[in-house]
Structure 1
Amino acid sequence: MLEPTAVEIFRAAVEAIVPAVDGRPGAREIHADEHVSAMIDQYVPGFADLIAVLLDSYASDVRTGAGFVELSPAERGSVFRLMVAEEAQDVRDMVDALFVFTYGAVYSEWSAYDKATRTLGRPPSWDDIGFPGPSLGYADYREGA
């Protein structure tokens, strides 16, 4: 379970990665931060809190005295760019994890899974990008079809 300040930092991070556009929900609106932090903590327990601390630390390099949540989306992007420019591979990997799991939450079935009913719907992002969904195969290529 993330610290309360880390929850807000993850919300700000996913919002910067996939913002809401033209009335379509972004990563923050679909609660992608929950997926991102859970996947990171599942891999290395406590790692999500560390990422939040680092995002906050790098924020002051972009705007003196500011925390990550206080930054504009463009400034948050500058934090990501600073981190991926680091020599330490671990820091670059943290940014990669944020992006990969955010995109996974937005564009995969995760965003359409209803935990209460345990049903899976069609993710709205698929319609936005023109993705028809999984292929059930092509009968022309099956023997005896």
Structure 2
Amino acid sequence: MEEIQKLDNQLCFALYVCSKEIIKKYKPLLEPFGLTYTGYITLLALWEQDGVTVKDLGERLFLDSGTLTPVLKKLEASGFVDRNRNKNDERSVTITLTDKGRRTQQSALSIPREMGCTITSNSRFGMDEMSTLLKDLHTVSSVLVDES
């Protein structure tokens, strides 16, 4: 077997495993809020910019409407967001945070801190490495998105 074909030499596999394990670590942090990981990243995007269309939110999160719509329905049922159809264009739906959604931002400040501590809790990976990795992942993402 060629080295290039070994599973452990595949960037996609390393990213897949990291993503899966990170999302698993988020689960106990998000449960008290009644959130899934996808619900959480949706709120993160809305905390940055509230009152956006489903289309714009999907582009920001790299999620199609088939994935995002059920998440938004669940967030609405839980009282975090409101979904409002545009009166001039029935196809356009605007998502806005409710009071509960805005209040949750302050309560959820501990989540990224706890995740950072989880990842850096041993001496093998520190904050500097995490910062470098994040920068590198943003670069890789931008290259891949630009090629699409």
- Greater RCO between the two (CA within 8 Å, min separation 6)? 1
TM-score (norm 2): 0.33
Structure with the largest fraction of helix? 2
